[in-house]
Structure 1
Amino acid sequence: MAGTNTGYGMDLLRFATAGSVDDGKSTLIGRLLLDSKSIFEDQLEAVEATSEAKGYDYTDLALLTDGLRSEREQGITIDVAYRYFATPNRKFIIADTPGHVQYTRNMVTGASTADLGLVLVDARQGLTEQSRRHAVILSLLRVPHLVLAVNKMDLVDYDEVVYEKIYAEFTQFATKLNVPDLEVIPISALQGDNVVTRSENMAWYSGPTLMHHLEHVHVASDRDLIDARFPVQYVIRPKSDEFHDYRGYAGQIAGGVLKPGDEVVVLPSGMTSKIAKIDHFDTEIPEAFPPMSVTIHLEDDVDVSRGDMIARVKNAPSPSQDIDAMICWMTTKPLQPRQKLAIKHTTRTGRALVKDIQYRLDVNTLHRDQATNELGVNEIGRVTLRTTVPLLCDPYSKNRTTGSFILIDEATGVTVGAGMING
């Protein structure tokens, strides 16, 4: 997963942006792309020409990222737009998520793999209901780092009092949430203040610029490097005579560190063996850790198949068929008790029965509506499920990979829900 330097490539940070309409999110992303020199000259020339044709006395950086806006308004695209850029220090993947309440499911999709959440507020408007909702969703999804970017400071004359008021209000609100790391940065995306270069207009602010924070926020230790988890995705048994003894298990490390010689257990069978070697592409490596994709070889010829999990003998997840989880419902037909759905957890698939809907969570007020008997589209609630196969899971608070799952409509094959397992 993101945000870790695997030792086999440049450090990567995934971050999700969220904001209300016209708070400058597109302009901010445009500014990051421009100032990190991640756009082509002809792109910039086209944007400058369009800005001039519209009579603007500035370059409208939002035009760099607003290609999807017209489609979105027509209802064609309601997905997450992913954008990529890099600096000498780090590679970045931006999940640009729509801000409206009807796109909650898209924000959940974009933020589910993010290392950092970036919430924009307009300095003139202050905190809105949407700002709070975005922070709640990022907190629910256990995004470990949160940045509140107070944008359009140029329109309030770079007033420190305006910033301090928003800072105080948001930090007070954040005490109700699970936000382990919070940074509040005053910026002007349009003018470039505190985005990449430090602002001379806000000498009163002594914190980092947004880009400096994105480049240096420490995310390597956000992973669970203690509890070894390796969901088997594919069994490699070449049919050629040259490799007739080759048997490897391919997948992505979901937690912990695995090394040759480690004693491991294969779940759910409970068979034990030792790791003989670990391959990363064509190279044998001394250890593997998240988010590396590797092939593991065992000393013994034990029965292993897709959906199994390799873990340490004395630190393995307990298989469970009764699942208590927070679910974001993603389709117009509501989720109701006794409903049957397909479930996919890491590389394991099965079927699930909805036993009970305990409550619906109001993501604006954090109120728990226990009288509800269904979850509508874009609603989040606490649900208990019974699965046909035991899931080899951990609490989502401990491991975001082994603690999450998706629910699928068996008739259509469409993903209808995303779940986070409670501890």
Structure 2
Amino acid sequence: MRFYILLATCVSAVICSPTGDYCKAPFQRIGNGCYLISTEKVTGDAAAHVLCADRGAYLANFETLEEAMRMKYELLVRKTGLIYYIGGRKMNRNIAGGDWKWFKHGETSNIKYFLFPKSQPNGSSQDPQDCLSFWAPEENNWNRTAMIFIVFFASFLLTVKGAPTADPCGFPYRRIGEGCYLIVNDTVSADTAIVKTKIDQSFPDAQFRVDNYHFWRKDRNAHGGRIVMYIRSDLPCDRKQNMECEIIESIAAELVVNGKKWLISGMYRPQTISDNDFINDFTKTHDKISVKYDNMIFLGDLNYNLLSIDKCTPLSTVCDICGIENIVKGATCFTKDAKPTLNDVILTNKKNMLQNTTNFNCGLSDVHNIIAVQLKSDVPSIKKPLKKYRSYKQLDEEKFLHDLEQANLTTIVDNVENVNEAYDIFLTPN
């Protein structure tokens, strides 16, 4: 069975909806709603939630029967035969018949109607059915009874916040009717959909640049991965693409502080990369770096749990071969159904030149803490531009008006083009 995602400004496929009263491409208007109907393949409703959230949307809620019927018609016209995840969930398995609610941005609302097919839901405590989907049978045509059922699949609850902001129905979303939707045809797996940001070249640099900082990015595709790096613009630095890994996702940059060159590499290892490929790629890259740099730092999520000896052997092997060590202490990744893990690391060959290693939850990430470290170096402060302001603390309004009456403003205006120069002439006594 195939599962997909509709984003209403999201249907498994997936249906998403945007936050706010916006509906521009790739979202589309359907009835009074704004949706994105995506046919990206996902393996559970958690991945569907994340796919919508990464597009600034949420799994679609159909709060009235009319809304559901309009979407039914739209899906039947497409004749995809797919199952589309939507934002309905069973919140309490212990209540007879289930406690079904719409779920959006961490808030719930009652489902006021039901379109369950015969014998559904038929889950049990051993085989629970907790989430809702639209099912558009492949064999439907207009010569036969056309039906869309809400069907059920077991999965876990994932709180998702956000929807398209500022202009949520801009590209790649599009408007259908009065709704705003994104229809995606790419295939994703649950892990890559959940772990990364899914931002690709369709998102311009201008959305991520920060004043007074260099900005570099490395995209994988719209379904996972992606690394960005920021370095203060007043520090001598340069990206070194020849020092980046071939398989492991990475961005490498040279940074010069107090005359010392550092190679800083931000990394992410998807779990699809095998242990042998990781070891070979990392050590090969390290060999190239060590020829030109005495000081190096590798930081990022390598998906090896250093709190478990059995699960960190490849990373430990790399550290031994390269003469580097991890300086992050304590767990950095906290998931609902597993023990905390130390997946996010800062590896260096110059531990004594670093200080104030930080590992804390900033509330912005899904399950990961932020990790950071300081170099033991003094960096000059950013030079701030001098700004001139006119002071009105001693202003005497009557004298000011008198001066205006006595001044020959015509001469000043006719002969001077610069307003500041004109102001200086005005203040200069005759």
Q: TM-score, normalised by structure 2?
A: 0.26
Q: TM-score, normalised by structure 1?
A: 0.26
**Structure richer in strand, relative to its length:** 1
The structure with the larger Rg is 2
